[in-house]
Amino acid sequence: MQRTLSIIKPDGVKKKLIGAVIAVFEEAGVRVAAMKMKKLSREEAEGFYYVHKQQPFFPELVEFMISGPVVLMALEGDDVIVRNRELMGATDPAKAAPGTIRARWADSKQNNIVHGSDSVESARFEIGYFFAEIEIC
């Protein structure tokens, strides 16, 4: 059993896709183990995406992530890190497989509806960044 961090980004919340995205996870047999809605501070967004600090798109990415509330979730299931990435689709919606969350609803490489941890190490860091162990059911 594995855990991963999922974020419904500000574009997904603005498009009223919270329910639709969670339905994708639940219909795939993935369990929501923790969830909260939050407007990230600049410091929280910068710290979360610290691995991208040197990227030219970093300032724009941070602005996007603080442009409205997000929904933070810890997802649980067998091989859920890879399975969640499959459900999300490629970063660039133009390259995302048909039927994936990003292919269905994302507008651009940046405004791509969801985040999902990409490794066991990042999942551990990212879940711990937003959730105390006691908040995970």
Cβ at position 4, least distance to ligand GDP in Å: 11
Does residue 57 interact with ligand GDP by CB under 6 A?
yes
Per-position DSSP letters for 17-43, written without gaps between them: -HHHHHHHHHHTTPEEEEEEEE---HH
Q: How many residues bind ligand GDP (CB under 6 A)?
A: 10
97 — phi, psi (to 5°)? -65, 145
- Of positions 28, 110, 124, 125, contacts ligand GDP by CB under 6 A: 110
The residues with which 73 forms a beta bridge, in sequence order, are: 6, 35
52 is catalytic: no
Rounded (10°) angle between helices 18-27 and 80-88: 130
Q: Which is nearer to ligand GDP, 109 or 124 (CB)?
A: 109
Task: List Cβ neighbours of 49 (8 Å cut-off, separation of 6 or more).
Answer: 58, 61, 62, 65
Cβ at position 53, least distance to ligand GDP in Å: 12
Does residue 118 interact with ligand GDP by CB under 6 A?
yes
- Distance, CA of 73 to CA of 108 (rounded, Å): 22
Does residue 112 interact with ligand GDP by CB under 6 A?
yes
Indicate which residues carry an active-site annotation: 115
Provide the binding-site residues for ligand GDP, judged by CB under 6 A.
52, 57, 60-61, 91, 109-110, 112, 115, 118
